[in-house]
């Protein structure tokens, strides 16, 4: 599932290419996403200007004036900005030529298409259909069920050592599960929680309440640095994630422990171990992490 760096990378690209464009037509080819796309969506979006693109946790927010289009990519979704080619079938990314040859988007999964006034299109593709597209009045955004319970963004000043220490106090849950709880900190998932804990030298199964102030500080510092590096690399791609130009993220080669169980640690050569925490596989180095 795309996490904060992937969604932020996507937001930044789209902000440069589609802000100011007018939606001229909407095609909903498959409404059966995680929640059905409402039949009124196409008419409601027509002739609306994309004024800005923001992010809240793992959600994209397209500012349309009085309303906001909320988009969540789910587990396999992508939102690519494409231009209709001259004299051919299908669509191409706006400024990057054809889709990356190693990662092809099956047009059968192009479920929602927003045509823009420069003959380009925003296309939502989602093979597993776990994503979400929902139009909300701007005034109701703070109370939206998807957003109202979210904790501070993992890149915000509000996510600091004092805050995390307060949330960890008296909590018996594993620190990795605490970091992945969107009510505690918004935007982290399995990949970046595991990697941040490796950088901080803390095992993912450690009880949150048992962490020292120094460990809490290291986790917060490592999280911010890691996320910014991943954003700079366009995020991480393993299967489906593509940015707005149809390109995979480039951060995967820098991952130290995620999905590397049984391989040697890049730092100390100890075998990476894995355990299940909160029904998710959690990889760690038993020597580098305490």
Please indicate whether residue 280 is annotated as part of the active site: yes
Q: How far apart are CA 162 and CA 151, in angstroms?
A: 14
Q: What strands, in cross-sheet order, belong to the sheet with 52-56?
A: 52-56, 59-63, 67-72, 132-137
Residue corresponding to tokens 């890691």: 226
- From the candidates 46, 83, 171, 280, give the one annotated as an active-site residue: 280
Question: Cα–Cα distances in Å, from 268 out to 31, 263, 264, 277?
Answer: 50, 11, 8, 24
- From the candidates 56, 58, 134, 218, give the one annotated as an active-site residue: 58
Please indicate whether residue 207 is annotated as part of the active site: no
Please indicate whether residue 92 is annotated as part of the active site: no
Please indicate whether residue 176 is annotated as part of the active site: no
| CB distance 162 to 172 below 8 Å | no
Residues sharing a CB contact under 8 Å with residue 213, sequence separation 6 or more, in sequence order: 161, 165
- Residues annotated as part of the active site: 2-3, 58, 280
């Amino acid at each position: 599932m795309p996490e904060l760096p992937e969604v932020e990378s996507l937001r930044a690209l789209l902000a440069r290419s589609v802000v100011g464009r007018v939606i001229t037509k909407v095609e909903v080819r498959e409404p059966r996403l995680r929640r059905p796309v409402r039949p009124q969506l196409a008419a409601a979006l027509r002739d609306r200007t994309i004024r800005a693109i923001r992010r809240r946790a793992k959600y994209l927010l397209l500012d349309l004036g009085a309303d906001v289009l909320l988009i969540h990519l789910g587990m396999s979704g992508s939102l690519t900005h494409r231009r209709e080619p001259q004299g051919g079938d299908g669509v191409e990314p706006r400024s990057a030529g054809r889709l990356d040859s190693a990662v092809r988007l099956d047009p059968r999964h192009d479920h929602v298409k927003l045509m823009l006034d420069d003959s380009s299109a925003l296309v939502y593709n989602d093979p597993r259909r776990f994503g979400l597209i929902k139009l909300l009045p701007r005034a109701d955004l703070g109370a939206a069920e998807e957003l109202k319970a979210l904790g501070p963004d993992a890149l915000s000043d509000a996510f600091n050592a004092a805050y995390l220490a307060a949330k960890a106090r008296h909590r018996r849950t594993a620190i990795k599960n605490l970091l992945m709880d969107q009510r505690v900190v918004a935007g982290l998932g399995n990949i970046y929680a595991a990697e941040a804990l490796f950088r901080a030298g803390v095992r993912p199964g450690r009880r949150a309440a048992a962490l020292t102030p120094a460990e809490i500080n290291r986790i917060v510092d490592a999280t911010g640095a890691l996320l910014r590096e991943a954003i700079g690399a366009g995020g991480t791609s393993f299967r489906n994630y593509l940015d707005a130009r149809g390109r995979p993220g480039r951060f995967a080669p820098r991952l130290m422990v995620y999905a590397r169980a049984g391989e040697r640690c890049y730092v100390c050569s100890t075998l990476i171990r894995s355990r299940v925490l909160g029904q998710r596989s959690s990889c760690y180095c038993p020597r580098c992490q305490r």
